[in-house]
């Protein structure tokens, strides 16, 4: 295949993971997944690549359900590509969260019933059948956007609890802890900050992060058990030394008191802006029964206009400033944006495979394509600005992921069919194969 030079450079790094024959088939699926609109199935990828009459189409299914290659090694390569775009020695900020891939099917073994976080509210809980994925993403700044982007590189399937007891059950917190330890082995000398949602706010995870020299930032409950450090033990007293002192006031009490020493500070806010907030911060020992206490810095935040509810966050790096902690917290929202963009433009939740191996590979690959498209856009932007698609009823100030994938698609089509045509000519050469492919694809897209 004729592909853009930027794409050849990136894809070539993944070639050693496959055998020569499987790699040829894998490239077709990767390019087809980028060009396809709608469902991301193997047959749809073959159709958009002009291979509707391929008699050995089962070979492309076997790339996902049978071929020998490692998604973990692919994640390591993708993480290296993302880190290479960042300044040398900069802090690696990771965002981790889970998402539900709504799926049904009797043959899907990992299917479970979960709370739908997108459709649920505090008063109304919506549950759905699907697959739970835990994804870890690098939070980076891109040159064309004022907000931080979250680039996925490692996604793991969270299996429901096995009633027979044959499989050891791992919760989302367990998977995030293992993923964090894996990233630390890949990046042993870099400073790593991991930002997670309140559902992952566990003392066990915070202790694991302290052990691996990783800073953890998350939301904190207003009724969390916070304690003072233990005082000096009297000489001659027998028994174990205490691990915590007296209990502090809860964050809910601090929020209700009239004498709380609030400080007004300007912090980073959603959408790349700034906002003035009231901040109260202290250090404490966070404790949960049957766990060692962990030292954290908590930050209680209040909107001066009282339009937003009071929120509390914590960080295992007690020397971090409240502004820095809140900046990391705001960055975490990009993870949710990535999940939505992947559903809208990369066809997540439209797969139709049912074998265990294919399921465990397809969704991580589709999420990884989000990062690959972003990396390709960074390289292609060096040659010019990113075209921003606008209409009379929808105007954008800066490019979004829809513009990035549109740019990549245009470069792929041009490299495949229009390499011999002049860029400035009024009439360009349009091969018959490309014309037939265009006529066949347009009705399907509509």
* Average pLDDT of every residue of the chain: 90
Q: How deeply is 408 buried, as exposed, middle or buried, from its count of CB atoms within 10 A (0-12, 13-18, 19+)?
A: buried
Residue 310 sits in the same domain as residue 218: yes
Q: Where are the beta strands (DSSP E) in 220-325?
A: 226-227, 263-268, 274-286, 294-302, 311-315
Average pLDDT over residues 208-233: 94
Average pLDDT over residues 412-430: 68
212 vs 186: CA distance, rounded Å:
12
Q: Which residues have a Cβ under 8 Å from the Cβ of 87 and sit 6 or more positions away?
A: none
Q: Which of 318, 349, 382 is the last residue of a domain?
A: 318
Assess if residue 122 is contained within a domain.
no
321 vs 422: CA distance, rounded Å:
55
Assess if residue 30 is contained within a domain.
yes
Which range, of 94-108, 196-210, 331-345, 419-433, averages the lowest pLDDT? Answer: 419-433
Q: Is the pLDDT of residue 395 over 90?
A: no
User: Which token pair is 223?
Assistant: 């009724």
Percent of the chain with pLDDT over 70: 94
**311-315 and 214-219 beta bridge pairing:** antiparallel
Residue 219 sits in the same domain as residue 284: yes
Instruction: Please state the separation of Cα 202 from the chain's center in Å.
Output: 20
Model pLDDT, residue 234: 79
Residues in the chain, total: 446
Average pLDDT over residues 357-363: 95
Residue 314 sits in the same domain as residue 374: no
Assess if residue 11 is contained within a domain.
yes
Q: Where are the beta strands (DSSP E) in 103-213?
A: 112-115, 127-141, 148-158, 192-196
192 touches 215 (CB < 8 A): yes
Assess if residue 48 is contained within a domain.
yes
Residue 303 sits in the same domain as residue 381: no
- Please write the tens of the pLDDT for every residue from 267-281: 988 877 889 999 999
Q: Is the pLDDT of residue 433 over 80?
A: no
Average pLDDT over residues 358-364: 96
137 band by pLDDT with thresholds 50, 70 and 90: very high
Q: Is the pLDDT of residue 80 over 90?
A: yes
26 vs 408: CA distance, rounded Å:
18
Residue 221 sits in the same domain as residue 300: yes
Give the closest residue to 269 by CA, choosing from 315, 228, 303. 303
User: Which is it for the CA torsion 209, 211, 214, 219, positive or negative?
Assistant: positive
User: For the chain, how many structural domains are there in total?
Assistant: 2
233 touches 242 (CB < 8 A): yes
Residue 391 sits in the same domain as residue 310: no
Model pLDDT, residue 70: 96
446 band by pLDDT with thresholds 50, 70 and 90: very low
Give the closest residue to 131 by CA, choosing from 439, 319, 366, 427. 366
Assess if residue 399 is contained within a domain.
yes
Average pLDDT over residues 269-298: 93
Residue 310 sits in the same domain as residue 398: no
190 vs 16: CA distance, rounded Å:
26
397 band by pLDDT with thresholds 50, 70 and 90: confident
Average pLDDT over residues 8-35: 95
Q: Which of 287, 318, 349 is the last residue of a domain?
A: 318
Q: Is the pLDDT of residue 423 over 70?
A: no
Average pLDDT over residues 131-154: 95
94 touches 195 (CB < 8 A): yes
Model pLDDT, residue 134: 97
Could you give the 3-state DSSP secondary structure of residue 183?
helix
Assess if residue 60 is contained within a domain.
yes
Average pLDDT over residues 5-10: 93
Q: Is the pLDDT of residue 252 over 70?
A: yes
Q: Which of 318, 343, 378 is the last residue of a domain?
A: 318
pTM exceeds 0.95: no
10 vs 408: CA distance, rounded Å:
13
Assess if residue 35 is contained within a domain.
yes
205 band by pLDDT with thresholds 50, 70 and 90: very high
Q: Nearest 5°: phi and psi at 398?
A: -145, 160
Range of the domain at 383: 5-70+369-445
Assess if residue 310 is contained within a domain.
yes
Q: Nearest 5°: phi and psi at 32?
A: -65, -40
Residue 295 sits in the same domain as residue 379: no
- Please write the tens of the pLDDT for every residue from 95-115: 999 999 999 888 999 999 998
């Amino acid at each position: 295949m004729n592909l853009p030079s930027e794409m050849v450079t990136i894809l070539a790094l993944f070639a050693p993971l496959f055998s020569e024959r499987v790699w040829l088939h894998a490239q077709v699926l990767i390019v087809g997944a980028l060009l396809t609109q709608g469902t991301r199935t193997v047959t749809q990828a073959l159709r958009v690549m002009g291979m509707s009459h391929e008699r050995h189409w089962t070979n492309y299914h076997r790339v996902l359900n049978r071929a020998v290659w490692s998604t973990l090694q692919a994640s390591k390569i993708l993480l290296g590509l993302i880190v290479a775009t960042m300044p040398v020695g900069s802090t690696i900020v990771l965002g981790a969260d889970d998402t539900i891939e709504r799926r049904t099917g009797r043959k899907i073994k990992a299917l479970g019933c979960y709370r739908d976080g997108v459709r649920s509210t505090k008063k109304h809980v919506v549950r759905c059948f699907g697959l739970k994925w835990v994804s870890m993403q690098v939070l980076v700044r891109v040159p064309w956007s004022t907000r931080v982007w979250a680039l996925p590189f490692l996604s793991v399937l969270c299996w429901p609890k096995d009633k027979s007891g044959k499989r050891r059950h791992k919760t989302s917190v367990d998977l995030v802890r293992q993923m964090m330890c894996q990233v630390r082995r890949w990046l042993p000398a870099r400073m790593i900050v991991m930002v997670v949602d309140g559902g992952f706010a566990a003392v066990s995870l915070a202790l694991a992060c302290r052990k691996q020299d990783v800073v953890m930032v998350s939301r904190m409950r207003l009724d969390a058990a916070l304690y003072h450090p233990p005082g000096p033990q009297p000489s001659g007293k027998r028994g174990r030394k205490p691990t915590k002192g007296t209990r502090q006031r809860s964050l809910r009490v601090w929020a209700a008191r009239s004498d709380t020493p609030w400080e007004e500070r300007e912090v980073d806010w959603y959408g790349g802006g700034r906002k003035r907030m009231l901040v109260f911060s202290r250090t404490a020992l966070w404790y949960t029964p049957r766990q060692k206490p962990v030292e954290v810095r908590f930050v209680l935040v209040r909107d001066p206009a009282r339009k937003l509810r009071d929120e509390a966050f914590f960080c295992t790096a007690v020397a971090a400033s409240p502004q820095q902690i809140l900046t990391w917290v705001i960055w975490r929202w990009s993870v949710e944006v990535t999940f939505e963009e992947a559903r809208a433009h990369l066809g997540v939740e439209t797969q139709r495979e049912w074998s265990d191996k294919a399921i465990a590979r397809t969704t991580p690959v589709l999420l990884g394509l989000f990062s690959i498209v972003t990396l390709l856009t960074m390289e292609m932007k060096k040659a010019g600005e990113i075209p921003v698609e606008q209409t009379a009823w929808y105007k954008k100030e800066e490019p979004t992921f829809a513009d990035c994938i549109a740019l990549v698609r245009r470069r792929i089509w041009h490299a495949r069919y229009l390499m011999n045509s002049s860029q400035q000519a009024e009439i360009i050469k349009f091969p018959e194969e490309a014309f037939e492919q265009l006529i066949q694809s347009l009705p399907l897209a509509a």
